[in-house]
Every structure is written in structure tokens, then in C-alpha cells.
Amino acid sequence: MTQDELKKAVAKAAVDYIAPRLERDSVVGVGTGSTANFFIDMLAELKNEFDGAVASSEATAERLKSHGIPVYDLNSAGELEFYVDGADETNEHLELIKGGGGALTREKIVAEVAKTFICIADESKKVGVLGEFPLPVEVIPMARSLVGREIVKLGGDPVYRDGFTTDNGNIILDIYNMDISRPIQIEERLNNIVGVVTNGLFARRPADLLLLGTSRGVESIARKDS
């Protein structure tokens, strides 16, 4: 199977998982990226069975609206039952690296609000130790050099994502060669650097359910303590 076929399979598995659990007044949190896009396209078929969505990026909001799915501001949406999103990497504890598409801050905010965070990913994203994929950090532009120096002190190699601006008007530093064997500690240390908005480690708030697309079918992996 191609990677896109695996992404479609996990998107469908996510729709199948939430469909019987949706109420007429449900609002669904929706992530960003190519896997999330497949999910949005399939979610559209259920659009008369739930109220609407909260988007984790402008691109996702546009795609939801193009299907006629109402998009709500998170502040007026109240509680979200589900947040469905892809990932750049996941480990066995469902701790993630996200933000390859640069939407990490809004993704983290929406994930924080949701009762159940469903991660949809193809098997190429499953790793033993996080960090092969460069870890994105959203940074206030004037703090770029300061944050870069602090990241070097933590043992990482920051690279400026040239020409990219987040939906929040900030920049991204991608960290290479970082030891992420203790994800919660690294997530907190990076977030403590002045000028960092947030980083793409989802360890404090990992996924609750991983739907992993493999050549043998979609594996459903629940977080052990969730």
C-alpha cells in the first residue's frame, strides 16, 4: 500500500470511531496536514449529524468550510469530545512530535481542550525514541537568536525554517540531533525558554488513541493509562 492509502485508511478508521459517538450538538476538533485533510473530506459525509468543528489552522478552517462544515472559534465552542490529528512521529506511549506543517501551537491548544485525542498516522511515523524528525519550536520573531542559543545549550541544533510564518505571525526553529529520550522533560525545558510560544512535543498531553495504518490493516492502540 502507498503512504496515501495508509493515510486514507486511518482517516476512515477515525470517522468510523467517532461516527456512533457523535451527538447533534457535538463540535469536533480537527488537526492539520495531509492525513487530517483525508479525515476532513470523509467527515464531510457526516456533516448533518454533528454541529461543527474547531480548526487547528487557517488551512484546515478553509477546507472544513469548503465542505459546508461550520467552523467555530474555540472560545465559543465549549468542550470538545474529540480531537483528530496526524503526527510526524509517535512512540509507544503515544507521545508525539507534531508541527511539521507549522500548526503546532493551535494543535496543542485544541488537543488540550479535547476529552479524547485521536492520532491518525501511517506506520512510518512509529519510532522507538522521538527525535529523528526535527522538533519544531514556534518562536516570537525578535527572540530567534536568543532561543537558538538556549537550544544549543540543551544539546540541539536549531535550524530556522526560512520563509515560513505561522498562523500566529511567528517563526519556526526546527531542532535536529536532540536527545528526546525524556520527552516530558524536554517539552517543559523548551517551553521555559523566554520567547518560545510552544514546541511540537506532545508528551504532557499525549494522544489517547493511536490509529496506525499498516500494510496488515489499521491497528488501534489505546494509551495505557488513558
Ligand X SMILES: O=C(CO)[C@H](O)[C@H](O)COP(=O)(O)O
Count of CB atoms situated within 10 Å of the CB of 22 = 18
Per rule CB under 6 A, count of chain residues that contact ligand X: 17
Q: Is 107 a catalytic residue?
A: yes
Under the binding rule (CB under 6 A), the answer on residue 102 touching ligand X is yes
Residue 185 dihedral angles phi and psi, to the nearest 5°: -65, -45
Closer residue to ligand X in complex, CB, 156/213: 213
What residues are designated binding site for substrate?
32-35, 85-88, 98-101, 125
Distance in Å from the first CA to the final CA of the chain: 31
Under the binding rule (CB under 6 A), the answer on residue 103 touching ligand X is yes
What residues are designated binding site?
32-35, 85-88, 98-101, 125
Asked if 157 and 177 count as a contact pair (C-beta separation under 8 A), the reply is: yes
Judged by CB under 6 A, the chain residues 27 through 86 that form the site for ligand X are 31-35, 85-86
How far apart, in whole angstroms, are the C-alpha atoms of residue 73 and residue 142? 28
CB of residue 53 to ligand X, shortest distance in Å:
16
- Name the active-site residue from 89, 107, 150, 187: 107
Residues that bind ligand X (CB under 6 A): 31-35, 85-88, 98-104, 107
